[in-house]
Structure 1
Amino acid sequence: MKVGIVEVAAHAGVSEATVSRVVNRRQGVAKKTRDAVESAMAELGYERPVQGQLVAIITEHVSNPFFADVAERVESALAPHGLKTVLCPAFPGGVQEPEYIGAIVDKGIAVVVFLSSSNTVEGADMETYELLRARRIPYIGVNGVFADGVEVPVYSTDDLLAAELAVAHLHQLGHRAIGMASGPSGNHPADRRVQGFLDAMNRRGVADAERLVVRQSFSIEGGQAAAQMLLDRGATAIVAASDFMALGAIRRIRRQGRSVPGDVSVVGYDGSMITEFLDPPLTTVRQPADRLALEVGRSVLALVSGREVPVGELLFDPELVIRQSTGPAPQR
């Protein structure tokens, strides 16, 4: 027999209207009553209907093809199940995240996906997460663990492995003065990529690799500034923490009258389709957008149905795509 709100209401000893409010995660239900209804739902095997419910995707990088690709893939996976995605562009750690969530939390929101947003920032404001937990709305992360210490599902590209792949490729080409253009300190993926870079360089006998690490913003301009500093320090190859930073590095190298890869090799990170059509086509470490989005979609569907999803961080292997922006180290 299919369990409905009538059976749940009878089991919990509350009205059907109260069950409806709990099912739709509305306000106005006391915690004790909500807990009783949730318990009855679990005991009877009641599954929340998903038709028409919203999934909020919070991300900063809507202009970055990789994040747009992941968001689009998640939307495609959820649409056949009656779930509608809402894309919320927000600066990580800023006021927009809680404003977005506060505006839609009572509109049938089922799950929130933090796609490289405040889950990447050290010391991020806990207001958004506290609001979601208070409303019993589950949330998951992509490419960044949550600073609040609460165990939730997180799906990330293995940034340590990504740095190893880039450094190994350049080292094999004869480069020894390999620089790292990374994102700002306190950004979890950037910190991991730097750690992976330092580990990879240390494994190859480079003891002072820290001097070849420059922190900047994840942008073309950040890549330009970082590249200038690395060139001044004698780098013959640059590992960039994003494809945008790699583009900036190439621009700076050329403005100095040098060539890519003849004088300086450059490796990007993200691996969006556009990198194949750059000049030169960019060697990059590709994040597995398809596998990340598939796992996010599966988890969202499980969560809205009341099923358990394994918590903690699941790491996905990236892939090195070798193109024409890397070549043998120049002969001195």
Structure 2
Amino acid sequence: MSSRLAEVAKKVGVSEATVSRVLNGKPGVSESTRQAVLTALDVLGYERPSKLRGERARLVGLFLPELTNPIFPAFGELVGGGLVQQGYTPVLCTQTAGGISEGDYIELLLEQRVSGVVFVGGQYSQAAASHAHYDRLTELGIPTVLVNARVPELAFPTVSTDDAVAVELGWNHLRQLGHDRIGLVLGPDDHVPSQRKLEAAQRLAAAAGIGIETAHSHYTLEAGQAAATRLLQAGVTGILCASDPSRSARCEPCAAPGCRCRMTYRSSATTTRPS
């Protein structure tokens, strides 16, 4: 703090006490000096105190992890349309291999003084990922909403599917078809929605007195195909898939004559969880 005061004071040509009065909103400083101190903060890369930031732009960051999975453009259209109806402009932020990170996107949005952020998928659902940029949003008081499960320490308002109900619907469907060798294609090990699906499947399997095979993969067609192939090699005849890309990734054995494997994906009712 003292180094910041000294640097700003030197830049403006005033005392550190004057800079402190400006930052704390105290009287006794001319408007020209106050503006000079605030401008120096911006030039030197320091963040203004929240009470001195002024009105935020009516921009809302809309994070989509990708556009190849059709569910995310559908979410983007729905959420973006709702924001426009409320007088806000959505700023689309998408993830690509080797592209800009979530954290960097957040810094760019903060520079534009966004009014809020909506995440439709992201690092908040991965227990092992960095969550520093979410902490920054909390610290700055930026309204933030998460779609789908988040790690427990993030207290943002969340809109999420009921993963346990989704798995139960798919499980019961396969059991009614006569399958007793069921596999489950999930996301990465630290993916919170996948962890919830796995817990639900294990409870159902234990209650039925049968085992369940699992395979973790990334949410791509190629990864889904490899995971499904591993499950088939383990002898499963029915597969529950945790995502549309996994379900769409029909492996070669499924196309073979006489193959009885049934792949299914079940979604469920959406629930909301306030902060």
TM bracket, shorter-chain basis: 0.7 to 0.9
Distance 1:117 1:213 in 2: 23
Asked if 2 retains the 8 angstrom alpha-carbon contact of 1:91 and 1:117, the reply is no
Asked if 2 retains the 8 angstrom alpha-carbon contact of 1:258 and 1:264, the reply is no
Asked if 2 retains the 8 angstrom alpha-carbon contact of 1:227 and 1:253, the reply is no
Which residue identity is paired with 1:310? P
Q: Any idea what the Cα deviations from partners look like across 1:250-278, whole Å, max 9, x if unmatched?
A: 2323344445xxx111102xxxxxxxxxx
Q: Any idea what the Cα deviations from partners look like across 1:42-84, whole Å, max 9, x if unmatched?
A: xxxxxx978x511112221322111221121111111122101
1:224 — aligned with what? 225
2:16 — aligned with what? none
1:106 — aligned with what? 111
Mapping 1:155-194, distance limit 5 Å: 155-194=159-198
2:7 — aligned with what? none
Which residue identity is paired with 1:182? L
2:150 — aligned with what? 145
**What is the alpha-carbon root mean square deviation over aligned residues?**
3.0
Match of 2:48 among 12, 21, 29: 29
Asked if 2 retains the 8 angstrom alpha-carbon contact of 1:60 and 1:89, the reply is yes
User: Secondary structure of 2:90's partner?
Assistant: strand
Which residue identity is paired with 1:251? C
Change (3 A) 1:102 1:146: same
Match of 1:58 among 58, 63, 77: 63
Match of 2:158 among 140, 154, 157: 154
The answer to whether the aligner puts 1:310 opposite 2:274 as a matched pair is yes
2:135 — aligned with what? 130
2:267 — aligned with what? 286
TM-score (norm 2): 0.75
Distance 1:218 1:107 in 2: 32
Asked if 1 retains the 8 angstrom alpha-carbon contact of 2:228 and 2:251, the reply is no
Mapping 1:182-261, distance limit 5 Å: 182-206=186-210, 208-209=211-212, 212-248=213-249, 250-259=250-259
1:326 — aligned with what? none
Distance 2:156 2:90 in 1: 20
Match of 2:91 among 69, 86, 92: 86
Paired residue total = 237
2:75 — aligned with what? 70
- Once the 2 structures are TM-superposed, how far is the Cα of residue 286 of structure 1 from its aligned partner? 3.1
Identity of aligned residues (%): 26
Change (3 A) 1:258 1:215: farther
Which residue identity is paired with 1:215? H
Q: Any idea what the Cα deviations from partners look like across 1:170-217, whole Å, max 9, x if unmatched?
A: 1111111111111110011111111111112112121x32xx111112
138-147 or 238-247: which moved more?
Answer: 138-147
- Once the 2 structures are TM-superposed, how far is the Cα of residue 161 of structure 1 from its aligned partner? 1.0
- Once the 2 structures are TM-superposed, how far is the Cα of residue 108 of structure 1 from its aligned partner? 2.8
Change (3 A) 1:127 1:166: same
User: Secondary structure of 1:105's partner?
Assistant: helix
Distance 1:142 1:103 in 2: 21
Change (3 A) 1:56 1:227: same
Distance 2:168 2:197 in 1: 9
Change (3 A) 1:254 1:68: same
Change (3 A) 1:287 1:117: farther
